[in-house]
A and B are shown apart, each in its own frame.
Chain A
Amino acid sequence: MFRTHLKKEFLRIFKDPAVIITIIGGVLFYAVLYPQPYLNQLPLQQSIAVVDHDNSPASRRLIRYADATPEVHVAERVSSVSEARTLLLDGQVRGMLIIPRHFERDLGLSRSPVIGLAGDANFFLIYGTVIEGLAGAVMTTSAIARVRELMLDGVPLSFAVKDWSPVYLNERPLFNVGMGYLGYVLPAIFILILQQTQLLAAGLIGAERRVKSGFSLKQAALLFASRFVAMFVVYFLLTQFYMGACFEYYGISRNAAILDLWMMIAAFLSASIALGILFGQLLPRRELAAPLVMISSLPMAFTAGFIWPRELLPEPVLWISQWFPTTSAIQGFLKLNQMGAEFSQVLNHWWALWALAGFFLLLSLVVLTRPFPQSQTT
């Protein structure tokens, strides 16, 4: 009995071109397309304009230091801030370095001249990069001036070099050590892609059936179980492909023990597939599956916590986001696979996913066993 049903469900997946294209085509296509914008990992060598009002050896040294940083590249030298602004508007430069008149004299007289650094903050990543590079150059110049000062005070060079700052910050980024974009975006977004293609496929399969209710409990359970198992097998393999071959190819860390990972995958897929089956039963027409799934992607991605900290989400947003399997799944997978957490540390996410799976299972059964309505509303 179950075996014939299961066979039917596998056929629903593999015989329907729309479904198989969504699953296999979608997963493969996005594995290639989604990483495209981020393949260069970091935005380096951003062009800047320099406004040098001093034109002294000291100001030229500062410009050389700026040019020497990996973050910025001095593309233009202009005589006024308004010229630099025009270049910024045209997109020819991303930031500017403004050196005041009498820079060298003030530096020599210990008058702390003020260097202007500016960047286009409409693009935070570029802004951060530009400011980091320029601030680094200013810091170097400052340090050299400080060392010179100390030596004038009679401090030996070897001491002065070490002692120009009384205390240091030794900063150590963890997990995504290079702070690259692929390692940041892909491990999370791949989970979302898996869930969304699965929801879409399940929606297409479910909406195909004319009869959506009036099943006996046994029939309903049989339908749910067979569809669940068929989907699970297909998506378990696709998840292995994403977290194995794709992560390997894009150089994304895989710290989780395989059994821990499988346990998390089982919980994630169960929640996602149960939601998919429910979605399919509620959907009146096949063509609505794609628009509804696709417009939910942005809210799901931005509430999962990897872009914007969940601590800062307002209460209603938190409440809504807990119903997305991706929310718990992305947090759980990132902690296990990227951040090296023990399984005991992600148990809360794991149980949350099972709770969602159970809830969607119950709702699906309720929908399936509802008395057959007089007319199916569309």
Chain B
Amino acid sequence: MSGLANALKTEINALRQDRWLFALVVWLPPGLSLFLLLIFSAGQPMDLPVGVVDLDQSSLSRKVVRYLQASPALNVTRHYSSIVEGKADISDAGIYAMVVIPPGLSRDVMRAEAPAITAFYNAQYLLTGKAIRSALLEIETTLAIELDVGRTLVNRPVIEAAFATSLPLRSQMSALYNLNMNYATFLVPALLAALFQLLIICVTILSFGRKDLKTPATQRAGRSFLYSCVFSVHILLALAFLYGGLDWPHQSSIAGLLPLIFLFVIACQLLGAFFYVLAFDLVRSLSLAGAFAAPAFAFLGVTFPASDMTVFAQFWRDLMPAAHYLDGFLNQVSYAAGPAHTLKPGLVLLAFSVLVPVIIYRFKDRQSSFQ
């Protein structure tokens, strides 16, 4: 215990003397987490600017524009008299989509000639592109049913029957586990996992690199344990803020995640120590760690599914504690799955302890080569 108290004392001293280490350990973790959270404060893509070319100028075409305006995802900001006019605004992302209402829309609908409304949308920004597309498809369905019910009512003057004829089949879509399709609740936990993995690995390397070989092993272990606690508390506080303070939907208690969080932090520390003993040089070890952990978010599989990645990418993903932590996290917080589903990611994180003998061996080896 005296080793731990000793470590605590020296570490607090070190943090007080080194404002950069202090930043990395104390205020950058919550600061960066908050910044990432703020980015997605809108929750969903909303009021995306779109332009309209109304070549019909009928009451029906104006209704289409009203529907566009009424969609929460869209905001009609520009009106053009021709497609050419709107082209420049699409190229410089002044608008994300241009909806072209053809001349004679109203007439063609009356004649049952099934006219087409054309929508050009910017698919370079994939997420906005998809949001706009689904908003447009929704409007198409609404409009089609409305027009069709109007037509059918002539033959079958009962509104329910006309409605059912226009829409022989209805579907009810359920977005399981993220009911309101909120991008913050979807992205932020994964961003935090990637961020903390990086921070913990870096801080571990920095702390291992200090006073290198003179530090006895017990003190090194005590110091590492101290950081395990500090970062576990950071993560726990961040999650408590999100799921408690902001009341994000969750299926299990956040405190129950503590074992998983703790294992995640320790696995990251072991990786950090491993990178350190690979080179025994701060700059080179950090370069290795950076090459490994900087692009972690892409590999976590929240934006692009892990199951559809190449074999190599899946292998790379499996090496990341953050990926297993996130699996366990989603199982508990989102799916409320049984203990078996959280146990597996926990065991995988535990498996990172195979690095312990490697780290000890490398330290011994280096010490003996110095004597």
Chain A residues at the B interface, C-beta cutoff of 8 Å: 17-18, 21-22, 25-26, 29-30, 33-34, 36-40, 42-44, 88-89, 91, 107, 110-128, 131, 134-135, 138, 141-142, 145-146, 149, 153, 159, 162-163, 165-177, 179, 181, 183-185, 196, 200, 204, 284-295, 297-299, 302-303, 305-309, 311-314, 316-317, 320, 331, 334-335, 338-342, 345-346, 378
The answer, among B35, B90, B148, B309, for a CB contact under 8 Å with A37, is B309
- Could you tell me if B125 and A305 are in contact, using CB atoms closer than 8 angstroms? yes
14 contacts between A and B (CB under 8 A): A21-B287, A33-B295, A36-B313, A37-B310, A88-B176, A138-B169, A146-B166, A287-B209, A287-B282, A291-B206, A293-B290, A298-B195, A312-B46, A317-B35
The proximity string for B residues 17-51 relative to A, scoring 1 for CB distances below 8 Å and 0 otherwise, is: 01010001000100010011011111001111100
- Could you tell me if B136 and A169 are in contact, using CB atoms closer than 8 angstroms? yes
Give A286's nearest chain B residue, CB to CB.
B283
Report the separation of the CA atoms of residues A145 and B165 in the bound assembly, to the nearest whole angstrom. 9
Known A179-B129, A290-B286; judge A110-B176 contact (CB<8 A): no
Give A297's nearest chain B residue, CB to CB.
B294
- Could you tell me if B168 and A112 are in contact, using CB atoms closer than 8 angstroms? yes
- Could you tell me if B171 and A115 are in contact, using CB atoms closer than 8 angstroms? yes
The answer to whether the Cβ of B198 comes within 8 Å of any Cβ in the partner chain is yes
Of A168, A181, A305, the most chain B CB neighbours within 10 A belong to A168
Question: CB-CB < 8 A to A146: which residues of B?
Answer: 165-166, 168
Known A119-B175, A302-B39, A339-B122; judge A43-B92 contact (CB<8 A): no
The answer to whether the Cβ of B303 comes within 8 Å of any Cβ in the partner chain is yes
Question: CB-CB < 8 A to B209: which residues of A?
Answer: 287
The answer to whether the Cβ of B293 comes within 8 Å of any Cβ in the partner chain is yes
Q: Size band of the B side of the interface?
A: 35 or more
- Could you tell me if B290 and A290 are in contact, using CB atoms closer than 8 angstroms? yes
Task: Give the contacts of B111-132 with A (CB-CB under 8 A).
Answer: 112, 114-130
The answer to whether the Cβ of B181 comes within 8 Å of any Cβ in the partner chain is yes
- Could you tell me if A36 and B316 are in contact, using CB atoms closer than 8 angstroms? yes
Known A107-B168, A166-B147, A169-B140; judge A294-B293 contact (CB<8 A): yes
A interface secondary structure, majority? helix
Report the separation of the CA atoms of residues A307 and B144 in the bound assembly, to the nearest whole angstrom. 32
Report the separation of the CA atoms of residues A114 and B164 in the bound assembly, to the nearest whole angstrom. 11
B interface secondary structure, majority? helix
Give A113's nearest chain B residue, CB to CB.
B169
Which stretch, B229-237, B261-269, B330-338, B360-368, touches the partner chain A?
A: B330-338
Report the separation of the CA atoms of residues A124 and B134 in the bound assembly, to the nearest whole angstrom. 13
- Could you tell me if A114 and B109 are in contact, using CB atoms closer than 8 angstroms? no
- Could you tell me if A308 and B305 are in contact, using CB atoms closer than 8 angstroms? no
Question: CB-CB < 8 A to B194: which residues of A?
Answer: 298
- Could you tell me if B48 and A309 are in contact, using CB atoms closer than 8 angstroms? yes
Question: CB-CB < 8 A to A169: which residues of B?
Answer: 116-119, 136-137, 139-140
Question: CB-CB < 8 A to A142: which residues of B?
Answer: 167-169
The answer to whether the Cβ of B227 comes within 8 Å of any Cβ in the partner chain is no
Known A145-B168, A173-B123, A204-B283; judge A168-B140 contact (CB<8 A): yes
Known A43-B308, A320-B35; judge A18-B283 contact (CB<8 A): yes
- Could you tell me if A168 and B115 are in contact, using CB atoms closer than 8 angstroms? yes
Lowest 10 A-B CB distances belong to which pairs? Answer: A173-B123, A121-B175, A145-B168, A121-B178, A287-B282, A290-B286, A291-B202, A169-B140, A312-B42, A142-B169
The proximity string for B residues 210-251 relative to A, scoring 1 for CB distances below 8 Å and 0 otherwise, is: 000000000000000000000000000000000000000000
Give A204's nearest chain B residue, CB to CB.
B283
Of B49, B170, B290, the most chain A CB neighbours within 10 A belong to B290
The answer, among B24, B114, B169, for a CB contact under 8 Å with A107, is B169
Question: CB-CB < 8 A to A334: which residues of B?
Answer: 124
- Could you tell me if B170 and A112 are in contact, using CB atoms closer than 8 angstroms? yes
Report the separation of the CA atoms of residues A98 and B184 in the bound assembly, to the nearest whole angstrom. 29
Chain B residues at the A interface, C-beta cutoff of 8 Å: 18, 20, 24, 28, 32, 35-36, 38-42, 45-49, 88, 90-93, 96, 105, 109, 112, 114-130, 133-134, 136-137, 139-140, 143-144, 147-148, 151, 155, 161, 163-179, 181, 183, 186, 191, 194-195, 198-199, 202-203, 206, 209, 282-284, 286-287, 289-291, 293-295, 297-299, 301-310, 312-313, 316-317, 330-331, 334-335, 337, 341
The answer, among B92, B128, B305, for a CB contact under 8 Å with A125, is B305
Known A37-B304, A308-B127; judge A167-B36 contact (CB<8 A): no
The answer, among B24, B139, B143, B313, for a CB contact under 8 Å with A291, is B24
Give B199's nearest chain A residue, CB to CB.
A295
- Could you tell me if A116 and B128 are in contact, using CB atoms closer than 8 angstroms? no
- Could you tell me if A175 and B176 are in contact, using CB atoms closer than 8 angstroms? no
Report the separation of the CA atoms of residues A320 and B183 in the bound assembly, to the nearest whole angstrom. 21
Determine how close the nearest CB of chain A comes to the CB of B56; give it in whole angstroms. 12
- Could you tell me if B176 and A120 are in contact, using CB atoms closer than 8 angstroms? yes
Give B125's nearest chain A residue, CB to CB.
A306
- Could you tell me if B20 and A298 are in contact, using CB atoms closer than 8 angstroms? no
Known A36-B312, A107-B169, A298-B195; judge A286-B282 contact (CB<8 A): yes
Question: CB-CB < 8 A to B128: which residues of A?
Answer: 309
- Could you tell me if A185 and B298 are in contact, using CB atoms closer than 8 angstroms? yes
